[in-house]
Chain A
């Protein structure tokens, strides 16, 4: 039974901020099959295609038949906790300052035994449900939960190290003028965020949905134009030390590709808003977030990008927009590497066309802004790195994996 976490007290500025440490990071290349699975919240193990047996840890040959044909496949999550121990004085700095720390050995129903971090409600001899999580080093680890829900389950201290749960954290949603931003604010607030700062450019100009943000408890409208370096720097100077989760909801969608446009002015706007806006936000807020990755219950935890799935494969109907999104995707990998020493996750949500005015002429299925907001929250709670929201995004992902050239041809319609 987990005690609920308490709202953090106001920070004492005289006390030293605890610096982020990283759990051990080295992994074999093959072991990154687990990293890929964990990034998407899947539980995968290697299974021998020749004899069907599952193996763990990551191997280059099947221990039952020596076949090299080991594929990472979605695997049954159920297992039994054989034995547990509580490490009280680990030699590793990260674990030492978080001790006591519980780990155990789990016999999976599908065969292998796995050393795993234990949720506080896991009991020896009882069934557990296994997941792969990204720890503060950004690498995959096995995490055993009780099979069913238990009270205050998400408040478990070891589990919270794996996630970026909004509970009691302070969030900056960068663009509150759009519906996606407004839905994100509502969902994060509902998920227990202490404060949601909502960026609005030129906030004296009225906008649709304004009443959902103004004068709401725990929601603060702040002046922010991501494309404007000074605007971003000014806001960071004000609240940069208390942004625990940043949700980049910058939207700048314009149809068209290359030949039907004249000049580069629209492309420049797309780059200013999406790409340079991203850089401005990262430079202004990134360093403090990286510094505060171990700063207690409301440590900085995650950076969320909402990207078009056409960042992965250009959709000529929105060709220049797709390219701006691809640039942001590339930049997100850079940001992930640079925030990693702070243990701050970078989560990318890939969406298909959203049900907003700029995709008016696109036929359904389209993604509801509320679905994106819910995905943000569930991704943060699950500690994910990649999410595909909606049917179009999921389909593009699968088609890209199956045959990128076919996808390129078929997007040209």
Chain B
């Protein structure tokens, strides 16, 4: 069977980018963070809570709640509901589902929200209960989260393609420079290459500044049809294209590419743009080596050319390849499932021209990607979306 080409996302727009500023630890619950995000969505869009008729939620720390419990919790009456447990791919997956819902008029305004709290033991509890394969065949090995698993992937990738720590470090260092312009970033101090290289080893070759800092926070946006946005007078970005893929390249003995590589042609073809046309790129940066892999798989360079690419390009806000302009998870923090939203929400702000201190001049075309669920030996879920601002 040959996959059919998907229908375009005509008429679908995204609006109201919301970030609830992160904190390292929070005594509040995930529900509190999600509630703040919903409240901010309503305020920013100038709508009533009852105008939201679709809800899409992602969180690792909601306990026994799913999306339906949240409807009652927040006084929402929706006719479309989804709970997406896809970790770093949750934002793209949620956006895609919400887009089809509004396109088919199953809903008019879908609130896509991700929020997680971070108690002192949240991260450990999330690790312990991550997935069955993880429980049976990874966690007993002291992997202690994704660090050791990604260390294996990073080591193999770096050896296979001759990538040095300095190459990978360019991504982290550039993101820190961006983060210094983002008042909400948890990392406030500059990061030099010397500091990056001298960081303490966590799980070789992963060192401290290759790791994200778990924190609490929430991110959200609204998905609707263009006429809805227009009637609300709401600035919105058009959804040009998306892709999503799970468990791609299962026969690769080790992960050297993500699912993007299977669908990247369709991503750009549907959007009618080329990689060079993009004004800003937001990758999923749980580890900088995964970002390097995305530069290749999303078509900015060939496989194995990621290191050369980051050597040639300036990844800062004012550079020739503005990337993870908020500072990304590496410098802003990883607020659980909200980490999936961080890049998409920042990309949305960029093309709406509302990114403030991190704004890339005249940005009108953004790509955001997601990656998630290291179920056993590799990240299984991947996705990407291309957004166009009103000026394009």
Contacts and interface: CB of A to CB of B under 8 A. Distances in A.
A85 B140 CA distance: 15
A221 interface: no
Given A82-B156, A117-B141, A57 B136 contact: yes
A23 interface: yes
Contact of A88 (B127, B137, B203, B377): B203
B136 A103 contact: no
Contacts of A63: 250
Given A28-B135, A57-B376, A87 B148 contact: yes
A92 B377 CA distance: 19
Contacts of B156: 82-83, 105
A63 to B, nearest CB: 8
A104 interface: yes
A142 B148 CA distance: 16
B13 interface: no
B135 A27 contact: yes
Nearest to B250: A63
Contact of B203 (A56, A86, A107, A117): A86
Interface in A82-104: 82-92, 94-96, 98-99, 101, 103-104
A85 B139 contact: no
B377 A87 contact: no
Contacts of A96: 144
Contact of A85 (B152, B159, B377): B152
A31 B133 CA distance: 10
B250 to A, nearest CB: 8
Interface size class of B (residues with CB under 8 A): 35 or more
Given A87-B143, A91-B145, A105-B152, A113 B135 contact: no
B376 A85 contact: no
B157 to A, nearest CB: 9
Interface string B130-167: 00110111111111110111011101100100000000
B140 A113 contact: no
A139 interface: yes
A114 B142 contact: no
A107 B377 CA distance: 11
B133 A57 contact: yes
A325 interface: no
Contact of B123 (A31, A91, A99, A113): A91
Contacts of A116: 141
Contacts of B205: 85
B253 interface: yes
B137 A103 contact: no
Contacts of A58: 136-137
A115 B254 contact: no
B137 A114 contact: yes
Interface of B: 123-124, 127-128, 132-133, 135-145, 147-149, 151-153, 155-156, 159, 200-206, 250, 253-254, 376-377
18 contacts: A31-B136, A31-B137, A57-B132, A58-B136, A58-B137, A82-B156, A82-B254, A83-B153, A87-B147, A88-B201, A89-B203, A91-B127, A91-B144, A103-B148, A105-B254, A113-B377, A117-B141, A135-B140
